[in-house]
Chain A
Amino acid sequence: MRLKTAILAGALAGAMLTGLGGFARAAGVTDTEIVLGTHLDLSGPVAAAMPQLRNGMQMRFDEANEAGGINGRKVRLIVEDNGSQPQLAVRAVDKLIRSDGVFAIVNAFGSGTNAAVVKRAVDAGVVYFSPWAAAAVLQKISGRSPLLFTTTADYDTTAKAGLGWMIDENKAKKVGFIFQEGPLGELTKIGVVAALEARGMKLAAEASYKVGDIDFSSQVARMKAADVDVILAATLTRETVGVMSEVKKLGWDSVKVVTTIPGRTIVVAEIGKGAVESLYGIGTWYIWPPGSEPADVKVWQEKYRKLFKIEPDENAFLAYAYTDWFVKFGLQPAGRDLTADKVVKGLQESTYSGSPIFYGPKRFKNNHIDPETVQVSQVKNGVWMPVSGMIDPK
């Protein structure tokens, strides 16, 4: 009898607790605070690049908070670790949604990790803004949820446009393809095949590698055996350098290597030194040669250096720009009565031209960034220099 009462009392207390809990976490918005979350790779293979992302976001939110908050509310950003592993990402997002009760998840990093969690986030009514991941995959998984906004240009359309330009420009006869297994490689391949089919060509050779591989001799040897004119490399930073070093080692000067969006970064030009000289890259944002940045970018860089004591790279600037877009057109216009619906509406109707890093103003078309203008650039004397005009993939 006493046990029964105890269980009843326990159950009652529990019901009250959960009831209270549910009330308190009205989707991350209180009278004084907006809680936002993100998950980055803090302990995995790309952990070294993450401080820039975190800093870029934090800087924009700190600015908003110093200006008195957004409609009177301070922004609090919670950063979780996903270690580039889907399981960890799932648990991180479960924590963000269930324990912290975030309003939105912004600038989360990784294709595999975002793919694993985007569905549960939008199902929980959380706004999912600007994941750094293969956009087409996420849009498909989320069931084209209006809560998901993707800002990474599609790997297939950009590869198609960039590779097309390379083929026409160099009158290439044979094209080879080196890719990272996973969404990046699979999506890029769609674009490669489309670009070749449009010109009545076929893929001469293809070779893949796994995340974490450091030796690319067999992949490049396969390209050499097929005697290709152009190699498209769907590679990240370290891997891009690896492929280029291998090409240089063979003394193979006639081949043109072109890398896709993730490989076309300042970091590649910096760590690759001589090895990446003459590498081409397909880009969707400006990379300014050091010293020739626009004035407002220089001011921003100075502020960043002072705050975080490190040199900003373009990822920091991009994270800042995406966050700026979210704050200016998502959170601010929604007013004091902040709801996910209002934020979604604000973002869908927005035209963002607030950051000099983008090739012109950007909009959302079906919740995906538009237009996906690309430009091909080349590493000359260790610096990315534009070599093509602006290409619209559409």
Chain B
Amino acid sequence: MRFAYDTSYSDAQQLLRYRSQWICYGALAIALIVAPWLLPAYYVGELSYLFIVSIASLALMVLTGFTGQVSLGHAAFMAIGAYTHTLLLDQGIGFIPSILGAATLTGFVGFIIGLPAIRVSGLYLAMVTLAYAMLTEQIIGRWKDVTGGFTGIPVSPPSLFGYDLSSLKGFYFLCLVILVAVLLGLINLMRGRTGRAFIGVRDSEAAAATLGIWVGGYKVLAFVISAFVTGIAGALLAHHLQFLTPDGFSVMLSMELVLMVVIGGLGSLRGAIFGAILIGMLPTLISKIKPLLPTSISSQFGLETFVFGLILALFVMFEPNGLNGRWLKLKILFENFPLYRRNTFRRGKTYMHSERYR
């Protein structure tokens, strides 16, 4: 067991407080930095993709996990980010202004979409965002002069300060740096005043309002922040795909993002990354284990869908807290071993539903 013994205020503000955390995260950082040289090219590309979906998953976590607002429209935010970035690059604008411009525009659209969120919540909000996503897909498909229609447009390669970042390693580090920046930004945001307000709004709007939190304002702010970060992810995804078509940003992508957040564990940024890794890697994993299966099974069509569904069902049934919940339990088990109490995670008091005001 470990007890916090702070000797100054700054102790409590450190992101990494213990030596064990420094060692673990340091090792992870070194592993990620040397990975492009150690891993085969294919996995480097896959990792870059995972970084991109992690950014999107983090963005949705802010909205769904922290503020309690469901969105089925995040594929549309990604699409707006991707197309805006591509079009700005074609105008000869540099990479950084272009990606920031794309994110800002996406954030602005998020503001507009966020406005109805003041009035509707839950299932109805999901419907509003879904409708918006479908609308966006249609607009992109029909606005041929700008977006190339359903035929699509090519994406120019990324370059920064004259360096071409389209190589495998260059793009890997580009995604990694942006992911780390987004993660640090969100961690600080979530433990600050804004993040606390988000959580307050999620847990009880009535209580939050009583404490002087501007509920409507924070709900819209969550949409704007989430859309801004998703726009960044969309811009990076454009470079990963190298060719944009509207059907790349269908409802399926929104669903996948929601799954990442739910499977990862609502209300935790670490969970968002866990979820992104699991859901993002599933298709690869399935295609990797396929050759090991007997031919009668591996040549079955629809195997992918089946395995996908099975894993999701098992998670929802046996670990509703998601991957992050499982991770915390394992960590505590190891920290306390052999003095682990079996009932550590049993809730002492269960609340009646009526005790909570929305």
A85 and B248 in contact, given A119-B154, A185-B150 (Cβ under 8 angstroms): yes
- The answer to whether A18 touches B248 (Cβ under 8 A) is no
Q: Are A112 and B45 in contact (CB under 8 A)?
A: no
Hey, what's the 0/1 contact readout for A111-146 against B, CB within 8 Å counting as 1? 010011101100000000000000001000100000
Residue B194 lies at the interface, judged by CB distance under 8 Å to chain A? no
A residues in contact with B41, CB < 8 Å:
18, 21, 98-99
Q: How far is the CA of A15 from the CA of B141 in the complex (A)?
A: 44
Cα(A116)–Cα(B247), bound, Å: 10
A19 to chain B, nearest CB (A): 11
Pairwise interchain contact A85-B287, C-beta atoms closer than 8 A:
no
B301 close to A51 (CB less than 8 A): yes
A11 at the interface (CB under 8 A from B): yes
The answer, yes or no, to whether B34 is at the interface (CB within 8 Å) is yes
- Report the Cα distance A85→B247, complex, angstroms: 7
Decide if B94 is an interface residue (CB 8 Å cutoff): no
Interface size counted on chain B using CB atoms at 8 A: 39
Interface of A, secondary structure class, is: helix
Task: Please give the distance in Å from B220's CB to the nearest CB on chain A.
Answer: 30
Check A274 for interface membership: any CB of B closer than 8 A. no
Of chain B, the residue at the smallest CB distance from A137 is B151
Residues of A within 8 A of B40 (CB): 17-18, 21, 98-99
Selecting from A89-97, A354-362, A379-387, the interface stretch reads: A89-97
Across the A-B interface, how many residue pairs have beta carbons closer than 8 Å? 115
Shortest CB distance B12–A (Å): 29
Given contacts A81-B287, A83-B304, is CB(A11)–CB(B37) below 8 Å?
yes
Q: CB of A47 within 8 A of chain B?
A: yes
Closest to B35 in A: A14
Query: Does B253 belong to the interface (CB within 8 Å)?
Result: yes
Contact (Cβ within 8 A) A80 B302? no
**Those of B220-270 within 8 Å (CB) of chain A:** 237, 240-243, 245, 247-248, 250, 252-253
CA distance A267 to B20 in the complex (A): 63
One of A11, A13, A87, A185 near B241 (C-beta < 8 A): A87
**Which residues on B sit within 8 Å (CB–CB) of A141?**
152, 154, 243
A10-B38, A14-B34 known; A211-B46 Cβ under 8 A: no
CB pair A42 B304 closer than 8 Å: yes
Among B133-147, those with CB < 8 Å from A are 141
A86 vs B151: C-alpha distance when bound (angstroms): 12
Whether B38 lies near A50 (C-beta < 8 A) is no
> In this complex, what residue of A is CB-closest to B298?
A79
Q: How far is the CA of A332 from the CA of B154 in the complex (A)?
A: 35
Contacts of A289 in B (CB 8 A): none
Indicate whether A95 sits within 8 Å of B37 (C-beta atoms), given known contacts A47-B302, A86-B247: no
User: CB-nearest residue of chain A relative to B39?
Assistant: A14
Would you call B287 and A11 a contact (CB within 8 A)?
no
**Separation of A81 and B141 alpha carbons in the complex (Å):** 25
Q: How far is the CA of A19 from the CA of B278 in the complex (A)?
A: 30
A21 / chain B contacts, CB cutoff of 8 Å: 40-41
With both beta carbons as reference points, the residue of chain B lying nearest to A95 in the complex is identified as B42
B301 partner residues in chain A, CB cutoff 8 A: 42, 47-48, 50-51
Q: Is A43 close to B, CB under 8 A? A: yes
Task: List, in ascending order, chain A residues with CB within 8 A of B149's CB.
Answer: 186
Give A220 to B217 CA distance when docked, in angstroms. 47
Tell me if B97 counts as interface (CB < 8 A to partner A). Answer: no
Assess whether A42 is in contact with B303, with CB atoms less than 8 Å apart: yes
> 27 A–B contact pairs at CB < 8 A?
A10-B37, A14-B37, A18-B40, A18-B41, A81-B286, A85-B247, A86-B243, A87-B237, A87-B248, A88-B283, A90-B242, A91-B284, A94-B45, A95-B287, A98-B41, A99-B42, A112-B152, A112-B245, A112-B247, A112-B248, A116-B241, A117-B243, A119-B243, A137-B151, A141-B243, A182-B151, A211-B247
Query: Which residues of A are at the interface with B, using a C-beta cutoff of 8 A?
Result: 7, 10-11, 13-15, 17-18, 21, 42-43, 47-48, 50-51, 80-81, 83-88, 90-92, 94-95, 97-99, 112, 115-117, 119-120, 137, 141, 181-183, 185-186, 211
Q: State the 6 A-B residue pairs at the shortest beta-carbon distance, nearest first.
A: A14-B37, A98-B42, A99-B42, A14-B38, A86-B248, A43-B304
